[in-house]
Amino acid sequence: MPAFFLALALPILLMVVSYILQLFHDSPRRLPPGPRPLPLIGNLHQLDHLPHRSLARLAARHRAPLMSLRLGAVLTVVASSPDMAREVLQRHNADIAARSIGDSMRTGSHCNNSVLCLPPRHGWRALRRLGATELFSPPRLRAMEPLRREAVSTLLRHVSDHAARGAAVVVGAAAHAAALGLLARTMYSGDLDPRTAREVSDVVDEASVLAAGPNVSDFFPALAAADIQGVRRRMARLVKRMYAIIDDQIEQRERSRAAGEARKNDLLDVMLDKEGEVEEEGTDDVRHNTIRGLLTDLFTGGETTSHTIECALAELLQSPNSMTKVQEELNGVIGTKQQIDEADTSKLPYLQAVVKETLRLHPPVPLPPYEAEATVEIQGYTIPKGTKVLINIWAINRCPDAWIEPNRFMPERFLEAEINFMGRDFHFIPFGAGRRLCLGLPLAYRMVHSMLGSLLHRFRWTLPAEVEKNGVDMRERFGLALSLVVPLHAIPQEIH
């Protein structure tokens, strides 16, 4: 029994000593302003279940576009304005480009093989280069256009079936299924059977919430080994399930290659070809773990596409004038075609404006975490090495100094100025900026416009009577990617 109490008291004593040492350590440094932390818990009591919103309120209250606070024992700096985002993601990006990784993401060896987790060094560069050349280069994207078109056609058939029955569509789920189907075809030239598709969707959804949720191990790293909440163990089970799905595809491909069957020249073939090769920059051999890591990362990307489509339709259903404008534009450009071609997107400025305005109000990843790999100074304030740095994209995209009526859905604002989301306009960075600009952005851009445009062109959308009466529930659920607490249900009616 004494040993038990000693084992319990020792970590607590370490936390107390750590807190006292931090006070002495912080005093000579000029940290950014922020709320005064309490002993031990720091500023944890000032966060709620939507940290991007509570951090935005704190930054406004303390007039601190660059704000420091303590999340438990972890020094954290939050950038909440376009100017501060530029400082972090452009001027100091060389020193603040590593990801701050939660304890749950360190399960097994996944983080060692994930482009989302790796620091910006050899292994990360090799995976980014592989993705850029084999998935998202202009020639590859052109070659994959028939696959994307078929994914949109599959989505339209699903919605058309509901329209024939007068049934409501669960918009986000339908869009996510189509996105996963496209990713599967791109990665290994196959499709996901319904059972596997549901399992992948469930794993991605649960892992997103689990990885971004409050975890004692993240706030008090001294206690991480104990995994008090069991978050790491739960994440390990999810990763194991995803890897089993991917391993099945690897084994099938290896058997077909051994039997002398024709190559498919998809991403899986390319990655298997690279086994045993050493990258020019000295990275380790590309092994099955690397294949599992990259394919898992790609599967998680489907959630951001479906979230954007769901939120766009939700906003349009609450803005009849905007809905009329975008459907009139589509009718004028697309005519009697059943779905839009990707080449049509450039002729649809209002559709593009709808997508941009949706991403402004509902960025899929509202609070990406970084870590300072060296001590830097920003406008006279010190950000010490090892500090967790959060870019509050949600707050930046609603900055009142940058946007007129920032909380209002108003696509017209993007018709009046040339603003894109490639990370150069720092008041509009839904996909981040700098070295960590979303790798899958070229694919996401094409998919969102073709899927959303086709859904709006082919169907007239209404809300179920109960939702019409009570209003669309736009409450958010925080995760690695945002989602709606109540999934959007909408009733389609065939137009074309």
pLDDT tens-place values along the chain, 496 residues long: 455 444 445 555 555 555 555 555 555 579 999 999 999 999 999 999 999 999 999 999 999 999 999 999 999 999 999 999 999 999 999 999 899 989 988 877 788 888 888 888 888 888 888 888 877 888 888 888 888 899 899 999 999 999 999 999 999 999 999 999 888 888 888 888 888 889 999 999 999 999 899 999 999 999 999 999 999 999 999 999 999 999 999 999 999 998 888 888 888 888 888 764 534 444 444 468 888 888 888 888 888 999 999 999 999 999 999 999 999 999 999 998 889 999 999 999 999 999 999 999 999 999 999 999 999 999 999 999 999 999 999 999 999 999 999 999 999 999 988 888 888 899 999 988 888 888 888 888 999 999 999 999 999 999 999 999 999 999 999 998 899 999 999 999 998 6
Both tokens of 316, joined, read 């349009």
Are 388 and 371 a contacting pair, CB within 8 Å?
Answer: yes
Query: How far from 416 is each of 322, 326, 333, 353, 362, CA to CA, in Å?
Result: 16, 16, 21, 10, 21
Is residue 188 in some structural domain? yes
- Domain containing residue 252: CATH number: 1.10.630.10
SS3 296: helix
CB-CB contact of 111 with 118 (8 Å): yes
Kindly tell me the burial class for residue 408, based on how many C-beta atoms sit within 10 Å of its own C-beta (0-12, 13-18, 19 or more).
Answer: exposed
438 annotated as belonging to a binding site for a ligand: yes
Direct distance between the N- and C-terminal alpha carbons of the chain, in angstroms, rounded to an integer? 75
Pairwise CA distance, residues 272 & 257, whole Å: 10
Contacts of 189 (CB under 8 A, 6+ apart): 264, 266, 268
Domain assignment present for residue 169? The answer is yes
Whether 153 is covered by a domain: the verdict is yes
Question: What local confidence, expressed as pLDDT, does residue 324 receive?
Answer: 97
The Cα 406–Cα 385 span in angstroms is 34
Segments forming the whole domain that contains residue 362: 31-494
How many helices (H) does the chain have, and how many strands (E)? 17, 12
How far apart, in whole angstroms, are the C-alpha atoms of residue 451 and residue 156?
9
Residue 138 lies in a domain: yes
State phi, psi for 298 to the nearest 5 degrees. Answer: -65, -40
Count of domains in the chain?
Answer: 1
Residues in the chain: 496
Distance between CA 461 and CA 327 in Å, rounded?
11
β-strand 459-462 against 489-494: which pairing, if any? antiparallel
Q: Rounded to 5, what percent of the chain is helix, strand, coil?
A: 55, 10, 35
Considering the domain boundaries, does residue 59 fall inside one?
A: yes
**Does residue 22 sit within a domain?**
no
- Please indicate, yes or no, if residue 15 is contained in any of the structural domains: no
Residue 280 to residues 275, 276, 287, 291, Cα–Cα distance (Å): 14, 13, 16, 18
Indicate whether 47 belongs to any domain: yes
For residue 493, list its beta bridge partners.
460
Q: Following DSSP, what letter does each residue of 265-289 receive, concatenated?
A: -SHHHHHHHTTT---TT-PPP--HH
DSSP 491: E
